[in-house]
Amino acid sequence: MILTPYQIVAPLIALVAILYAWNLVMRQRKTLWEATLWTIFWGAIAYIAIEPNSIDYITIATGIHDRENAVLVTFLGILFFIVFYLIMRLENLEQRQTRLIRKIALKEIGLEADSRK
């Protein structure tokens, strides 16, 4: 079996995405459920890239006969990863903004914010 560059790169990208999701779980930034879904999704991408014949049942069920589905799903996965990353950054910025506003409000009314984190 001769591997194509796609069959090498796609599983590597999937592995990085899975490790990133579990890293976020370890840092308590995402839930176990989210990481599990992330792992299933990227595991499927890697499996389809390595075994393209495995999508034959999907092509039969959907009526789509082209093998380019694997490439399309991979790019959708990359876009999904980008959106996931942007949501993470947005949540982080919202938390920082909330802490800053609380600190400023407490300072304006004369309360000390030293006892709070």
Q: Is there a domain that residue 115 lies in?
A: no
CA–CA gap between residue 51 and residue 35 (Å, rounded): 24
The pLDDT score that the predictor gives to residue 8 is 93
Q: Is there a domain that residue 113 lies in?
A: no
Q: Is there a domain that residue 52 lies in?
A: yes
- pLDDT above 60 (res 116): no
Residue with tokens 């990227």: 42
pLDDT in tens, 4-42: 999 999 999 999 999 999 999 999 988 898 899 899 989
DSSP class of residue 113 equals: -
> How many domains, in total, are found in the chain?
1
The pLDDT score that the predictor gives to residue 55 is 76
- pLDDT above 90 (res 101): yes
**Residue 30 is part of which domain span?**
5-108
Q: Which of 93, 92, 112 is nearest to 102 (CA)?
A: 112
> Which carries the bigger pLDDT value, residue 111 or residue 96?
96
Q: Is there a domain that residue 116 lies in?
A: no
Over range 70-95, report the average pLDDT.
83
Q: Is there a domain that residue 68 lies in?
A: yes
pLDDT in tens, 48-82: 889 888 877 767 766 666 767 666 766 787 788 88
Q: Is there a domain that residue 104 lies in?
A: yes
The pLDDT score that the predictor gives to residue 98 is 95
Q: Which of these ranges, 28-32, 86-90, 92-96, 111-115, has the smallest mean pLDDT?
A: 111-115
Q: Is there a domain that residue 31 lies in?
A: yes
Q: Is there a domain that residue 11 lies in?
A: yes
